[in-house]
Amino acid sequence: MSRDDRKRAIGKIVSVAADRFVVEMHAGTDNFTVVGFDDVHYVARLGSFLMVPVQSEYVVVEVVGLRERDIGGPSQGDGILDKASSAKYLDVVPVGMLPQDRLAKFRFGVSVFPSLYADALYALDVELDRVFETDAPVEGVPVVGEVAATPPDATRYRALTIGKSVVFKGYDVKVRIDDFFGGHTAVLGNTGSGKSCTVSSVLQSLFAKPDEHHARGATFVVFDVNGEYTQALSPLANDAGIGVARVVLDGTANEGRFRLPHWFLEQSEWELLLQASERTQLPVLRTALGLTGLFRQNSVRGLEIREHFIATCIIECFRGADGDSPVSKFQRVVSLLQKYPTKDLSTSLLQKYGANYQYGNFQPSTNLEKFLDEVRVKLREDVELPAYDRSPFTFGDLEECLDFAILYEEAHGNRQIRDYCSQMMTRFKSLKERPEYQFLRYELRPAEQEPSLVGFLETLLGLASANSQLVKQNQIIIVDMNSVEDEVVELVASVLARMAFRLLRQAEPRNRFPVHLLLEEAHRYIAESPSRYAIDASRIYERIAKEGRKYGLFLLVASQRPSELSKTVLSQCSNFVIHRIQNPDDLSQIRQMTPFISEAVLKRLPSLPKQHALVFGTSVNLPTTFRVRDAVPLPKSDDAKILDLWFHEQGRAAQVTIAAAAGDAGSGGAEPR
């Protein structure tokens, strides 16, 4: 041990176990403080670190307890403890190894344990810098190939400041950019503990970099279920190439509101939305979705399949086994031929054989068989109906296709299929009529250009086309879902996440366009228990949690109920920012998912003040309690000022207005502004 190390020795190791050491401090220390050659060190502060030399390394230990044992007995018989004659002990736990070579890095875990009576040293600031890797938070931009950075003195963040340490006064707590944003992260804590402010503060710190280069390649899609992030993040849009876009989902199809063309939904999402049963309803729904694109195909094979399907349904309509009246059967045939005519199968064929539209028959009646004989010519053997291709269609188209798909099944002998599909048809009609799903029922307006899936995804990810290339237009895209219910939130969150995941899986080159999905109040739609709604958003998020990293899709999950979140999603998170948590179930969940965190650290969670948090994971070498950097401006999540709002003069106007649409939405509630 060097001479300088001897100068900062504060005690000896008197007990060694695999998970805990005991340090007896040297006699004469007062109040567990040591005056070193560089400063006064409060070595007994819970959460502080000591260094124990072992060979060419230091064992880094964390102080988790302090106590004092009287070894001299009462002084002068008056029962007063003689501080000078009492032994002082620190309970510490080993956390990692720090090589004495200043170029070597700290590593988590202990491989060599100290011997009895080894010296315990207070930590120097330079050692803390090495432990937390905060000695170089900003670095120059490296030359890529022969292309130098523009401007030449451009820098980039290596570590991002997120707050101030509560243990080491004035010490900036930082997270490594690659590790924090290169994995899934969870921000957890009770309501009012500061989660939204923490998320806002982190993004403000990232995008408020004062000089080049700015984080122009970042993409954050914010699912804002409480409508609180616009206030905090909109000011980040500036002349440095950082853009913030906001789209509002209120369930309507009004101009300027978020709309989701229903043909963008995948087949599996339609299945969940209509709760199609696997044995009977699912085949009908798949056939119907395939039919929505069949009648837009102009190939010879497509024409043959189309005519085969039409002929099959026409023949079934005239079989007379579905209980409908002759007129209704006839009208169904007319509708089919009017909606999907071909050269040989159209309403002119009905007129050729003397169809009577009023009575639903032919004149003479023998013409019916002649008509059917000509229709049967179009039947084909071993025809495979087309798959769903997500080409544009209307809700009315799908309703007709569902009816035709049922007819097609009936023609193949399944005479009970109409009864079996009645519940699915009821759900579809409800979806078609419910006002909160207007945003999904996309009806093209006159002269409106058909929206493309590619354009929709570009907008969702903040991209714009310029000179045949895609460039970043917005780094933050806020989807404001404050005005809709959980059922709609779950649907939109699931579909948008699936779209982003599919896009990044197919992108070339792979993993070169990182996207972060910020999920506010995630317990509302990523729950451990199955959702009570048709769409279960947790399915796609569990897959993203397990596979998204390979494609550059990451989750930033914020929730006040970790015990209700999907355990699959939480288990894949690499970093955690934990605010005050008092619920025993939530504390138990955190203990289960963080086995390497000491019990002493977890015991701090119920008593953390507001705007304080514990950060741990791959982006910080050691669990650290810190005060979160102030968010300026704050998100729209401030607490109600009860004193100011309750106690006032008589006659003051209430500080609230009732939105005109609030009473029309079916919820019966009032929407404050």
Is the pLDDT reported for residue 663 higher than 50? no
Give mean pLDDT, residues 321-340: 76
Is the pLDDT reported for residue 638 higher than 90? no
Is the pLDDT reported for residue 24 higher than 70? yes
Q: Which of 539, 515, 514, 512 is nearest to 525 (CA)?
A: 539
Is the pLDDT reported for residue 34 higher than 80? no
Number of residues that this document lists for the chain: 673
Determine how β-strand 9-16 pairs with β-strand 21-25.
antiparallel
Query: What CATH number is associated with residue 220?
Result: 3.40.50.300
* Residue 172 counted as domain residue: no
* Residue 150 counted as domain residue: no
Q: Which amino acid is at 393?
A: F
Give mean pLDDT, residues 200-224: 94
Q: Give the pLDDT confidence score for residue 252 in this predicted structure.
A: 92
Q: Which amino acid is at 421?
A: C
| First-residue to last-residue Cα distance in the chain | 66
369 Cβ contact partners less than 8 Å away, ≥ 6 residues apart: none
The total of structural domains in the chain comes to: 3
Q: Give the pLDDT confidence score for residue 44 in this predicted structure.
A: 66
Question: What is each CA distance from 69 to 81, 84, 86, 158, in whole angstroms?
Answer: 10, 11, 6, 46
Clarify whether residues 238 and 112 are in a common domain. Answer: no
Is the pLDDT reported for residue 362 higher than 80? yes
Q: Give the pLDDT confidence score for residue 82 in this predicted structure.
A: 55
Clarify whether residues 422 and 528 are in a common domain. Answer: no
Is the pLDDT reported for residue 118 higher than 70? yes
Clarify whether residues 96 and 188 are in a common domain. Answer: no
Give mean pLDDT, residues 230-234: 94
* Residue 602 counted as domain residue: no
Question: Who wins on pLDDT, 383 or 269?
Answer: 269
- At 83, the pLDDT band (50, 70, 90 cuts) reads low
Domain boundary (376, 409, 437) is at 437
Q: Give the pLDDT confidence score for residue 421 in this predicted structure.
A: 94
Strand partners, 120: 11
Strand partners, 174: 161
Clarify whether residues 278 and 425 are in a common domain. Answer: yes
Is the pLDDT reported for residue 288 higher than 50? yes
User: With pLDDT > 70 as the criterion, what percentage of the chain qualifies?
Assistant: 88
The answer to whether 626 and 166 are in contact (CB under 8 A) is: yes
* Residue 617 counted as domain residue: no
Is the pLDDT reported for residue 296 higher than 60? yes
Domain boundary (413, 437, 461) is at 437
CB burial of 515-547 (b: ≥16 within 10 Å; e: otherwise) equals bbbbbbbbbbbbbbeebebbbbbbbbbbebbee
* Residue 598 counted as domain residue: no
Clarify whether residues 507 and 566 are in a common domain. Answer: yes
379-384 long-range contacts, CB within 8 A, separation 24+: 379/308, 379/311, 379/312, 380/304, 380/305, 380/308, 383/304, 383/305, 383/308, 383/309, 384/305
User: With pLDDT > 90 as the criterion, what percentage of the chain qualifies?
Assistant: 40
What would the pLDDT profile of 425-473 be if each residue is shown by its tens digit? 999 999 999 999 999 999 877 777 888 888 999 999 999 988 888 899 9
Burial label for 217, CB within 10 Å (0-12, 13-18, 19+), is: exposed
Q: Which of 159-173, 222-236, 293-307, 616-630: highest mean pLDDT?
A: 222-236
Q: Give the pLDDT confidence score for residue 71 in this predicted structure.
A: 46
Mean pLDDT, the chain, whole residue set: 85
Clarify whether residues 12 and 51 are in a common domain. Answer: yes
* Residue 620 counted as domain residue: no
- At 670, the pLDDT band (50, 70, 90 cuts) reads very low
Q: Give the pLDDT confidence score for residue 117 in this predicted structure.
A: 94
Clarify whether residues 277 and 406 are in a common domain. Answer: yes
Domain boundary (530, 546, 576) is at 576
Is the pLDDT reported for residue 98 higher than 80? yes
- At 532, the pLDDT band (50, 70, 90 cuts) reads low
- At 659, the pLDDT band (50, 70, 90 cuts) reads low
Clarify whether residues 251 and 269 are in a common domain. Answer: no
Q: Give the pLDDT confidence score for residue 595 in this predicted structure.
A: 61
Clarify whether residues 209 and 290 are in a common domain. Answer: no
Give the Cα separation of 577 and 672 in Å (integer): 31
* Residue 57 counted as domain residue: yes
Q: Give the pLDDT confidence score for residue 3 in this predicted structure.
A: 66
Q: Give the pLDDT confidence score for residue 672 in this predicted structure.
A: 38
Clarify whether residues 58 and 98 are in a common domain. Answer: yes
* Residue 443 counted as domain residue: no
- At 669, the pLDDT band (50, 70, 90 cuts) reads very low
What would the pLDDT profile of 236-272 be if each residue is shown by its tens digit? 998 778 999 999 999 998 888 999 999 999 998 898 8
Give the Cα separation of 220 and 212 in Å (integer): 20
Least confident stretch, 317-321, 366-370, 382-386: 317-321
Q: Which of 47, 166, 63 is nearest to 120 (CA)?
A: 63
Is the pLDDT reported for residue 144 higher than 80? no
Give the Cα separation of 128 and 135 in Å (integer): 9
Q: Give the pLDDT confidence score for residue 629 in this predicted structure.
A: 94
Question: What is each CA distance from 156 to 151, 210, 600, in whole angstroms?
Answer: 12, 11, 36
Is the pLDDT reported for residue 627 higher than 90? yes
Determine how β-strand 476-480 pairs with β-strand 244-248.
parallel
Which structural domain range is residue 346 located in?
A: 264-437
Q: Give the pLDDT confidence score for residue 131 in this predicted structure.
A: 87
- At 477, the pLDDT band (50, 70, 90 cuts) reads very high
pTM: 0.84
Clarify whether residues 102 and 209 are in a common domain. Answer: no
Q: Give the pLDDT confidence score for residue 195 in this predicted structure.
A: 93
Clarify whether residues 194 and 102 are in a common domain. Answer: no
Question: Who wins on pLDDT, 664 or 339?
Answer: 339
Give the Cα separation of 476 and 238 in Å (integer): 12
